[in-house]
Amino acid sequence: MLDGNTFLQTKRYVSVLANELRSGHIFLHNDKYCEVTEQRQVKQGRLATTNMLNSVRFPPPRRSPSST
């Protein structure tokens, strides 16, 4: 807190693997918040598994007009 009523805001990011995301999780992608609606693992032959994610983007937050 600065000057009694000014707050310092910091953003913290954590990298996660795609296989850690589950339905209902919210993540930040290209500066937009998205919610995972479906997650499934696909495996073909001896290759590593691929995670398929379906997600929806949230609309940007509405900012209330400041009362200064």
Q: Give the model confidence (pLDDT) of 55-68 as tens digits.
A: 888 877 677 776 55
Tell me, yes or no, if the pTM score tops 0.75: no
Between CA 54 and CA 40 the distance in angstroms is: 9
Q: Where are the domains of the chain?
A: 20-57
Q: Give the model confidence (pLDDT) of 16-40 as tens digits.
A: 777 788 888 888 888 888 888 888 8
Q: Which residue has the tokens 């996660």?
A: 16
